[in-house]
Amino acid sequence: MNRNLYVKIAYWYHTLGMTQDEIAKRLSYTRQKVNQIINALPDMGIVTLNIHGYERNNVELENQIEEKFRLREAIVAPDYGEPSTAIYKVANVAAQYLDEIIQQGHIIGVSWGRTLAEVADQMSYRRRSACRVIQLMGAQNIERPVEKCDEIARGIANKLDCPSYMLYAPVVVEHAETKRWLFQEKSIKASYELMRECDIAVLGVGELSEQSTMCARGHITKDDIRVLRAQGFVADLAMNPIRRDGSYDDCPLTERLLNADMECLKKIDNTVLVATGEEKIEAIRAALRSGCIDTLIIDETTAKNVMEGV
């Protein structure tokens, strides 16, 4: 049972006054299913005279984010005004969410970064041996191995007791011709086929600057950053550069990337963005405007800052 979603349905129905038809359309459910959920809310302890289980302000904030960016679901983790621990609180909420939604047979794609590494660490052990986990981008040269895409894929696969599949290639090559040659390799073709079959993608978001991890670790150069910034790119999803308005066309880096591209991410049924941090507010907004994100998991402070002025 996705209790957070049921709390949200209670909020929509009893507080906002949405009809069952409106809720059904929003969730791509039948009206009958929505009716069954609403009737079951009292038995689940979610509805009495009030809505229990979530801070009212967070439910309102989640609803505002969902409406603004047309998301399927936004989950705001309370941070109690402690930004230094926000990453752990967000990761804990994300881990619980994945524990609930991952079912036998699902294919899960992952990107990289400290937040996702923490998510993988906090996930519970669940026997989902029929699942598969695939890295959505090539290898990275990172001093902390646990933050690498392949290590995160292995970590989540270990929690699910299922196999993980690697993309044995660098995430960025120097020449477009190198990428074309690599695409002739059977193992790389197989990885891309699996990416296109993903049911769930779990992503972090990066900011495009000379201080960003992708530049600091030498995946792209400072010259690359300057070219991208000059063309309006401010963020990246699984290494795909995105502009402030969410557009990503005509990117000069695309032909050198070995990753799941934006069109691939758009076609995945549930692309989950796990994000936190004041320095990433502009990047988070860009990612949400790209049309790739279905579910956002974020801390309260960052969520409020994302919504300011939009």
DSSP assignment of 48-64, as one string? SSSB-SS-HHHHHHHHH
Residue 88, domain extent: 57-307
Same domain, 86 and 232: yes
Q: Tell me which of 14, 39, 54 is where a domain ends.
A: 54
Distances (CA, A) of 255 to 241, 248, 258, 261, 287: 12, 13, 8, 10, 20
What tens digit of pLDDT does each residue of 242-280 get? 999 999 999 988 999 999 999 999 999 999 999 999 999
CATH number at residue 17: 1.10.10.60
Give the span between the Cα atoms of 167 and 139, in whole angstroms. 7
Same domain, 136 and 192: yes
Contact 199, 109 (CB under 8 A): no
Reduced to 3 states (helix: H, G, I; strand: E, B; else coil), residue 165 is strand
pTM (global) more than 0.85: no
Q: How many independent structural domains does the chain possess?
A: 2
Q: Which residues pair with 296 in a beta bridge?
A: 74, 273
Give the span between the Cα atoms of 278 and 36, in whole angstroms. 40
Same domain, 167 and 293: yes
Same domain, 185 and 36: no
Same domain, 290 and 179: yes
If we measure between CA atoms, which residue out of 57, 65, 131 comes closest to residue 98? 131
CATH number at residue 268: 3.40.50.1360
Same domain, 4 and 78: no
Give the span between the Cα atoms of 144 and 112, in whole angstroms. 11
Same domain, 63 and 45: no
Residue 301: which residues within 8 A CB-CB, separation 6 or more? Answer: 79, 81, 83, 86, 278
Give the span between the Cα atoms of 168 and 139, in whole angstroms. 7
DSSP assignment of 212-238, as one string? SHHHHTTSS-HHHHHHHHHTTEEEEET
Same domain, 220 and 260: yes
Per-residue pLDDT of the chain (310 residues; tens, 9 = 90+): 578 899 999 888 887 878 888 899 999 899 889 989 998 888 888 887 555 555 556 889 999 999 999 999 999 998 777 777 889 899 999 999 999 999 999 999 999 888 999 999 999 898 899 999 999 998 765 555 557 888 999 999 999 999 999 988 888 888 899 999 998 999 999 999 999 999 999 999 998 877 666 666 666 778 888 999 999 999 999 999 999 999 999 998 899 999 999 999 999 999 999 999 999 999 999 999 999 999 999 999 999 999 997 7
- Which residue type, as a one-letter code, is found at position 171? V
Same domain, 182 and 42: no
Same domain, 68 and 207: yes
Same domain, 24 and 95: no
Cα angle value 305/288/192 (rounded, 5°) = 140
Q: Tell me which of 34, 54, 74 is where a domain ends.
A: 54
Same domain, 108 and 173: yes
Q: Tell me which of 54, 79, 99 is where a domain ends.
A: 54
Give the strand pairing for 233-237 and 73-77. Answer: unpaired
